[in-house]
Amino acid sequence: MAEDLGFSESDMIKEEKSEVNESQLNIEKESVDKLSHRAKFVRSMVSEFNKNSFLKNHFVAGVRSVSEFDKAYKYPDQYTATRIDMENFPMELLELNGSDSPWVILQLHGGGYVGAFKNNYRNMAKFYSEAGKGAKVLTIDYRVAPEHVFPAALDDALCAYEWLLENGYTEENIILAGDSAGGGLAMALCHYLKDRGKMLPKAIIGFSPWTDLTASGSSYTENVDKDPIFGHSKEDIINKSTYIGEDEATNPYISPLFGEFEGFPPMLIQAGTHEMLLSDSSSVAEKAKAAGVDVTFTIYEGMFHVFQMVGYLIPESKKAWSQVGEFIDNLT
């Protein structure tokens, strides 16, 4: 049973070595042999796609930085989506008709700071809304590198956060949520707000957050052969980020791992055993917990980077979204 460290690890979790005293930890484990058949199939398909240079060149090359914000998308009838055009980027506010949920989730998408908004983040917005029992979700199409290096993404995230505050929401209503680069950006935004004496949001949800752009974690080498997304890639998105620009990768507003976490709101962090960025999650969870932050950190056995994106297709992702709902329910 997982530790009183606040590392709440589900029955699909594997223990990872930690500098934290193991007597403080209490971890439930489930063997990789119990990985669902659907999850094994999806992970295999993801791996095969990323190993196939023809498929990647045909479907990915040249379109990563092209936003799909203006691309058609049909939400279920019970939802209303409103476009909001800011000076430097557009946003979309998703609302469940008739909902009285107090929450608004500011979704910051992933993509290594070079990938623009894609329509699958509208799927994610719906999942977040469902997890929050009708929470509103504000998704932003922030500017990306190499055309827009640091601090463009942070500036846009801050702008969206301030828009919420100017439009009837309080910090107590706002949950920051992001995957990969978006998860790191959520934490970077909190560092920025804290350093300026601003009130912080109610909570942070991070799916495999990219928190260390120096790529110093052990999983960058230990998991390279089993990561189905980055392990087979010839690209160098995570080792030579163009987002950094002329700044330093150790800047906490770029790599939040290097910041101080005292005073941060509760955080839910989820990651998989089969990803090179696992250290980014475990290191930031340990550091934040040591600083007194209420951290729920879950490592899903056999899972890959941002597996939650498949929604309810596999049991592991369904369980992860259920945990998001429980996390939000427990916010006070």
Nearest Cα to Cα of residue 273 among 228, 234, 243, 213: 228
For 278-287, b where at least 16 C-beta lie within 10 A, e where not — what string? bbbbbbbbbb
- Of 136, 259, 283, 117, which is closest to residue 189 (Cα–Cα)? 259
Sign for the CA dihedral angle at 208, 231, 12, 15 comes to: negative
Nearest to 142, CA basis, from 127, 164, 158: 158
d(CA 214, CA 251): 10
Active site members? 180, 275, 305
Buried b (16+ CB within 10 A) or exposed e, 224-237: eeebbbbbbbeeeb
